Amino acid sequence: MPEMNMLKAINNALDTAMAADDKVICFGEDVGVFGGVFRATSNLQEKYGRARCFNTPLVEQGIIGFANGLAAQGSKPVAEIQFADYIFPAFDQIINESAKFRYRSGNLFNVGGLTIRTPYGGGISGGLYHSQSPEAYFAHTPGLKVVVPRNPHQAKGLLLASIRDPDPVLFFEPKRLYRASVGEVPEEDYQLPLGKAEILKEGDGITLLAWGAQMEMVDKAAELAEKEGISCEIIDLRTIVPWDVETVVESVFKTGRLLVTHEAPLTGGFAGEIAATIQQRCFLYLESPIARVTGLDTPFPLTLEKEYMPDHLKIFEAIKQSIDY
Partner 1 sequence: MSTTNKATIVHTPSFMDGDEFRVPVFKLLKQDGTAYKNAKLPDLDRDKALRIYRAMLFTRVLDERMLAAQRQGRLSFYMQCTGEEASIVGSTAALADEDMIMAQYREQGALAYRGFEVDEFMNQLFGNDRDYGKGRQMPVHYGSEKLHYMTISSPLATQIPQATGYAYGQKMAGQGHCTVTIFGEGAASEGDFHAALNMASVHQVPVIFLCRNNGYAISTPAHEQFSADGIAPRAFGYHMKVIRVDGNDILAVYQATAKAREWAVENNKPVLIEAMTYRLAAHSSSDDPSGYRSKKEEENWRDKDPVRRMRLWLESKGWWSEEEEKQEQETCRREVLEALKRAEKRPPPDLDTLITDVYETTTPQLIEQLEQLKSHIRKYPEAYPKGVKSLNAAKEGGENA
Ligand X SMILES: Cc1ncc(C[n+]2csc(CCOP(=O)(O)OP(=O)(O)O)c2C)c(N)n1
Site size with its own copies, rule: CB under 8 A = 50
Enter the DSSP assignment of 98: G
Q: Give the closest residue to 147 by CA, choosing from 161, 164, 166.
A: 161
297 binds its own copies (CB under 8 A): yes
33 binds ligand X (CB under 6 A): no
Exactly one of 54, 66, 86, 253 binds ligand X (CB under 6 A); which one? 86
Instruction: Measure Cα distances from 277 to 194, 220, 267, 311 in Å.
Output: 20, 26, 16, 25
Q: Single out the segment in contact with ligand X by CB under 6 A; choices: 82-90, 184-192, 280-288, 298-306.
A: 82-90
List the single partner that 32 binds among its own copies, partner 1, ligand X, none, CB under 5 to 8 Å by kind. Answer: partner 1
**For residue 168, how many other CB atoms are within 10 A of its CB?**
27
Q: Give the closest residue to 245 by CA, choosing from 282, 212, 290, 218.
A: 282
Instruction: Kindly state the smallest distance separating residue 211's Cβ from ligand X, in Å.
Output: 25
Q: Restricting to residues 140-159, which ones interact with its own copies according to CB under 8 A?
A: 140-143
Q: Restricting to residues 181-200, which ones interact with its own copies according to CB under 8 A?
A: none
Instruction: Kindly state the smallest distance separating residue 59's Cβ from ligand X, in Å.
Output: 8
Rounded-to-integer distance, Cα 159 and Cα 191, Å: 8
Out of 29, 80, 130, 233, which one is annotated catalytic?
130
- In sequence order, the 6+-apart residues with CB closer than 8 A to the CB of 10 are 40, 117, 155, 156, 159, 173
CA 138 to chain centre: 11
Rounded-to-integer distance, Cα 232 and Cα 302, Å: 32
**Catalytic residue check, 130:** yes
List the single partner that 245 binds among partner 1, its own copies, ligand X, none, CB under 5 to 8 Å by kind. Answer: partner 1
Q: Which residues are paired to 118 by β-bridges?
A: 172
Q: Single out the segment in contact with ligand X by CB under 6 A; choices: 65-73, 81-89, 196-204, 240-248.
A: 81-89
**Catalytic residue check, 317:** no
Q: Single out the segment in contact with its own copies by CB under 8 A; choices: 85-93, 183-191, 199-207, 227-235.
A: 85-93
Instruction: Kindly state the smallest distance separating residue 258's Cβ from partner 1, in Å.
Output: 19
Give 145's Cβ-side CA count (13 Å radius): 28
What would the 3-class secondary structure string for 192-243 be? CCCCCCEEEECCCCEEEEECCCHHHHHHHHHHHHHHCCCCEEEEECCEEECC
Annotated active-site positions, please? Answer: 60, 130
**Site for ligand X, rule CB under 6 A:** 29, 58, 60, 82, 86, 89
**Site for its own copies, rule CB under 8 A:** 61, 85, 88-89, 91-92, 95-96, 99-100, 103-104, 128-129, 136-137, 139-143, 241, 264-265, 267-277, 279-281, 283, 286, 288-292, 296-299, 325
